[in-house]
Every structure is written in structure tokens, then in C-alpha cells.
Structure 1
């Protein structure tokens, strides 16, 4: 059997490696348009923060290892441009020399990932306007900061990547302004928790310009000028961090069904509308474990897990994935910020009858040195009593606590059931009543 994979990062290389381990006789071919495979994209902001650290440190496994030790036919610099589902072929162009290529497949995995959203506005194509998604993007940003002696940066967007990059640039003593058209920082977050994140940014000299719509970017004698409707901001560098969109055009052009956010529609076995073609990673959708509906939430763990599942299915071991809860965590200077499941507004849109609580607790026992304040938001459903989601903010004790709620959501636990869970206690790590249990007990008064 010939198993062809388009895309050589998380989902693609996870599928390739697993398929080769399970069935060594399978011919596994990977087509990757860049020269980079298998790297930690999520680590790039932290790498950029350290001027002396090489971007290559983020490479998990080099291409030659896949080729020589695992027997995978990995072709870097091969840009796939068309899929023919009838004849089961992938065609494209070799980047270096423009020569065409054609591969026949028995099974195909589309793992083309996502790409940054670049506004269709004047000036976003100027030198010094950059985005961060690929390893080459990371190299480009580090090189630009070094070679242009960047002192001021404007970040368009205030999502996860934007916030992590704000910290990274401040670590390099670069002045940072952040701009977004909507009025609220982290609009999905409870306002009490979002206010804490906002204060942390301001305390670290990050300029916040929410409700500010960019109309374009101009080149001037000193660098760049980000023009908004009511103000302008000067910068040596502009980072587009508005979000990403799935690279699904290759699939759509081949007649493969797309769905929410134009992501490739897959079933729980990761099959597309063509049974010989699978999709995984940031280009594909998933099922939300709380709502049971299709969603598109690009997550690193999901990409790797989906790659494994595709390999299992291709190799004759039927595997279905339950779905995602949207569990995520990120760092904003001295804060840990985490979420899983639905916010109150999202729960309403999903036709639940939700209520929420916000509690203030401590990361350690009250008498233990170093205890920090944690705020927890829990959302529950008044009809069923189910726990629907959680958000947490604090200097410590947040990143791994959120996982307890994620497990509860995957198991459709009620707030009452969650309130009875046996969570660990020791004074250096938690009060006797863990903040999550305190929040659950308060939620019980409403559900």
C-alpha cells in the first residue's frame, strides 16, 4: 500500500511515523513544501525572546532521521498543488527548480495546517510587516529584530500568539503596542478575569489599543506607521497576529467537503467525504465534546493525536476520536491563563440554559509561604446540571488545574459529581478545598 501525506509537521509526521512502525512494508511518502518538518511551533515566542538561542533548537526530529532511521520517503521543498480523487494522484511543483511531480496514492492524508490571517489592507505587504506560524517565520522575525535593531513594535491582534509575542518582545526591551478592532481583550473570557490579564499587560508597559481599527500601514523615514481610524502608531516592525485560517483550498478544489470556518470536514475516523482521503491537524474540523457539534479549534495535541488515528485507520486498526474540549493555556508575563469547554455566551449559543460563578481562592494553603490568588470561572447547565466549561487566571497553579475540568467535560460530569471528586491536597500545592471544588460548590447553588 502507498500512503501519501501532504504536510510534514505535527499531524503529518505523526501519521507517517506511526504507519511505518505499525506496517513497515507500507510505502509512506510525505510531501512538505518547506524545508522544515517536526518542530515545536508553540515554542517560537519563547525562542524569539532569547536573542542567543538558535531557532533550530525547536526542531524535534530532523528530516534525515525520518528518511534514514524510519524509512519514510520524505520530500521537502515539494509543493502539492492538486489532488485528483478519481485517479488517486497528487501533483505539484518542486520549489527549487519548478519541475512538476506526480504521486499515485492508495490512501491520502491532507495535513496542510493553517496560515496566518493577513488583512487585505494597504501596507501589509511592506518589509517589516511579519507573521508567526512556520519555523521560517520565526527565523525571519529573529533576523529582522537583530539586523534592523528593532526598538518599537506594533502587534495587530490580541489573541494567544499576540499576547505571547508581546511578552517575548518586551523581554528583548522592545516597546510594544497592541491593536484590535473589537473593544474587549479576550472577548471569550469573563470580564473579571480578563481585567486581570489587561492589568498585567499594562504593568509590563504594553500599550493596549482595543476598539482601534487599522486602515493601513505606511512606510516613513523612521520605519512604519500603523494608521487607525482615530490614531496612528509608529513602529520598526509590525506583527500580524489576528488569527489563522485552515489551509483547505487544496481539498476544496478537489471536491472534498469543507465545513465550519472552511475547515475540511472529517468524521470521527478522520475520513473526509472521499473515503480514501483523510485530513488531520489545523486544516480539519473536530467534534466538540460538550456540544456534540462540529467545531474548529486548532490544537497541537489534537493534531498529533489525529495523525496517530489516521495511521491506525489506514493500517487496518479502526480508531475513532471522541473530540475536543478546546482546552488551552498560555502565559502572559507572570500570569497563567487557561480555559476549557464553553464560556457563558458560547453555552447560550449552543442552546444550554447556563449559569456561571466566579470565585477567588489561593494556590496554596493560606498559611503556606508564597500563596498566590487564583480566580476561577465555572459554567454549568441548569437543565441537566452538567459542567460546561471553566476559565482560570493566576500567577501559579492554573496550567495543570484546568486539566481536571477537561477530564470532567470529556466524561459529561455534572457540577454535583465534580464537586465530589477526590482532588489532591498538600499545603504547598492547594488549600484543603481546592479552588476548583470551591467554585463547583458555589455553582451547585445555581444549578
Structure 2
């Protein structure tokens, strides 16, 4: 049997590793538009912040050699013929397969694609993006940067650049940051703390309308209200688009079943996979590393002959790089809210039928593991969750193990 992967990211690398560890000895071919060994996108902001580049290769630079893979790097897959069982690259290479693992990842979404023609404008999604930004900063001795987008990816980019020592301006179209991973109150809390502590200049309810260039190189960004921000570097972090086009002819992702099959010979995982939610949320693209790895393991087991079922995805997010207060959230912000805040911390869970439907924790990580376990276990918590949220010493989990009541709430 010949297995081909489209993509070499976390899902594809885990899939191939599990195949080999499970005894698969057939041919494996891996295609990637990038020229790299498998890397972790979770780590690449640290590279931009100035940390060692080898840290991003989570399974080693020698992955292809160790797992006996024919790596087709720098080759973009353009079309997949499902009936014939073959793919074609932009360069014209044709590759046949017996089983295809489609994990092509995603790319930055640009509201103004023509900006990509300007030297100094970058996306913020891949290792190639990070290397290009890093090289540009070094070659041009960049001191100032603009980030467009105040969601998870945009904040990640801005904090990494600020940690590196650049003066950073962030432009966001909403009145609060992180609006997709928080509710309104938590978003306002996080926005205020970032403004106080990050050293970033924020332009809220604003949009970049035009760019000034000199011989094709960025000089400044103009906002819709006439404000000019002088900077030779602009990063667009306004979202991502799944690279599903070669397989589905659209950018809506690849719908798979609980066996990760998109059709009898094709499996899909990672940023492109439309999966069901593990705890009753809507089907969707849940592009996180834990989901990708879990999907890859189920897919590999099924190729090896098992009949495993994917338990579903979780939409958990953790923002904690280069900042002294984390923001953690998961689930849906629907139902009865229960909140604790003391000006330093913001903690809120949403209850449905006495169980956690979603939660937001900002300020520290002490309760994050405990709240996550309560969420995924579907334990009834209505009678004790207020005391747990008010636990500022982090004792709740240990008290539960000892079958003690939660500590009393202090006024």
C-alpha cells in the first residue's frame, strides 16, 4: 500500500509516526508547499521573538529520514482526482496513492490581497512567514511594526514583536480584543490589561485603509480616520482560510466522519477538517494542536486496521506567550453565567443544566486544569462552582481529591 500525505504539519507528522510505530512498512510520500521538516505552529512565535530556531521542529529535523518518507518539499498540490486516486502539483508532477491523508493546513486571510505585493507586508501563520519576517527585520533594522487584527493570532504576533524590542501598533476593527475567545466582559477585562501592561499602542474600532510605499517598500499605514502610523513592517492577522481547495474546490474545509474519512480512500485532519464538537457544540473547523494530534492518531489506527472513532473536537484556546497574565477559554458562552473577579482575575463559567457549557479564565492558570476537567467530564457543579472560582490560592482541585468541601468564599 502506498500512502500519500498532503501537508507535513502536526497532523501529518503524527499520522506518519503512528503508522510506522504501528508496523506499516509500505511507501509513504509527504507533500508540502514549504521546505521544512515538520514543525509546531504553537512554537513559531517564539522564533520571531528571538528564540533558537531548532525549538520549532517538534519531531526533529531528521523526521523524514527516521520514518522512511519520500518528502516532496516546496511542491504545492493543485488538484486531486478522487476517482483516479492521484494528485497533481503546480509544477506538473503526478502522484498516485492507495490512501491519501489530507492535512494541508491553512493560510492567512488577507482583506486586501494586493497588499502582499508590498515589501514589508506579511501573513502570520507558517514557519515560512516567521522566517521571512525575521529576515526582513534583520536586513532592514526594523524598529516599528503594525499588526492588523486583535484576535488570538494578532495578539500573539504583537506580543512576540514587542518582546523582541520593536515598537508595535495594533489596529483592530472591534471595540475589544479577543472577541472570539471571550465574551464581552472578559474581552473588556483582557483589553484593559493588555493596554496597561503590554507596551503596545492600540487603535481600536479602526481599519487600515491605505499603505504608503517608497520603491515598493512599506513606509506607513493610513487608518480610515486619517491617522498615519509610520512603520516599515505590517503583519496581517485577521483570520485564516483552510487549504481545502485542491480536494473540495472551495475554502470551507473538508467534512469528515468520526473515522476521519472524507471518502473511502481519503482521510483528513487538522486545520482543514470539519468535525463534530465533542460536547455538543456545532460541527466546525476546530484548528488546535490537540485536536489535530488526536485526529491523526485515530486516522492512523484505522488505516492500520482498527475501527477507532474520533471523540470530537474541543475549541479550547490559551493565550500566554510573552505576557504576565494568560487568557484561557473553551466551549460556548451560553447559559447561566457564574463570575468571580477581583480586579486582578476574571473567571467565568457558563452553566447549562448545572454543567459547564463554556468558561473563560483571565489572570492566572491555577484553576485551568481543574475547570477543564470539570468541563469535559460533564460533572454537575452548580452547587460548588462559585466557591471554586473564588479560590485565589489554587486549592480547589486538591480539596476535591480529598473529598473536602470547597474553601469558604472570603469577602
8 Å CA contact 1:374–1:435 kept in 2: the answer is: no
For residues 176 and 68 of structure 2, the distance between their equivalents in structure 1, rounded to whole angstroms, comes to 50
State the match for 2:306 in structure 1. 317
Q: Does 1:176 align with 2:147?
A: no
2-side partners of 1:318 and 1:421: how far apart? 43
Deviations 1:197-248 (A, max 9, x none): 2233222321111211222322159942212210232212001111111111
CA distance in 2, matches of 1:278, 1:267: 9
TM-score, normalised relative to structure 2: 0.88
SS of the residue corresponding to residue 303 of structure 1 reads: helix
Check the 8 A contact 1:152/1:236 in 2, yes or no.
Answer: yes
Change in CA separation of 1:435 and 1:262 when aligned onto 2, cut-off 3 Å: farther
The answer on 1:245 being equivalent to 2:248 is: no
Residue equivalent to 2:151: 159
C-alpha separation in 1, matches of 2:35 and 2:115: 28
Moved over 3 A (4+): 61-65, 121-124, 220-223, 416-423, 431-442
Distance 1:118 1:329, change over 3 A: same
**2:384–2:406 contact (8 Å) kept in structure 1:** no
Describe how 1:262-411 pairs up with structure 2 within 5 A. Answer: 262-272=252-262, 274-331=263-320, 333-343=323-333, 347=334, 354-360=335-341, 373-381=344-352, 384-394=353-363, 396-398=364-366, 401-411=367-377
Tell me the equivalent position of 2:221.
226
- Cα offsets for 1:71-120 (capped at 9, x unmatched): 22222223222111111111224xxxx4x322221111111000011122
Matched residue SS, 2:308: coil
CA distance in 1, matches of 2:358, 2:325: 20
Alignment of 1:45-124 (within 5 A): 45-50=45-50, 53-62=51-60, 64-67=62-65, 69-93=66-90, 98=91, 100-120=92-112, 123-124=115-116
Distance 1:217 1:342, change over 3 A: same
* Equivalent position SS for 2:137: helix
Contact 1:178 1:207 survives alignment (8 Å)? yes
- Count of residues in correspondence between the two structures: 400
RMSD between superposed Cα atoms in Å? 3.1
Mapped to 1, the partners of 2:397 and 2:259 lie a distance apart of 40
Alignment of 1:1-12 (within 5 A): 1-12=1-12
CA distance in 2, matches of 1:439, 1:173: 44
Contact 1:389 1:405 in 2 (8 A): no
Q: Hey, what's the Cα distance between the residues in 1 that align with 2:16 and 2:147?
A: 36
Distance 1:357 1:217 in 2: 45
TM-score scaled by structure 1?
0.81
Contact 2:281 2:332 in 1 (8 A): no
CA distance in 1 between counterparts of 2:29 and 2:94 reads 12
Change (3 A) 1:422 1:151: closer
Q: 1:334 to 1:120 in 2, by over 3 A?
A: same
- Cα deviation, residue 129, structure 1: 0.6
- CA deviations on 1:232-284 (whole Å, 9 max, x unpaired) are 3221200111111111101113xxxx7xx711111111111x22111100011
Choose 402-411 or 131-140, whichever is displaced more: 402-411
Q: Which residue of 1 aligns with 2:26?
A: 26
1:430 matched to 2:398? The reply is no
1:431–1:404 distance in 2 versus 1, CA, 3 Å: closer
Structure 2: any 5+ residue segments left out of the alignment?
Answer: none
Paired with 2:162 and 2:99, the residues of 1 have a C-alpha distance of: 47
Alpha-carbon shift at residue 410 of structure 1 (Å): 2.7
| 1:290 match: secondary structure | coil
Q: CA shift at 1:419, angstroms?
A: 4.6
Are the aligned partners of 1:124 and 1:216 in contact in 2 as well (CA < 8 Å)? no
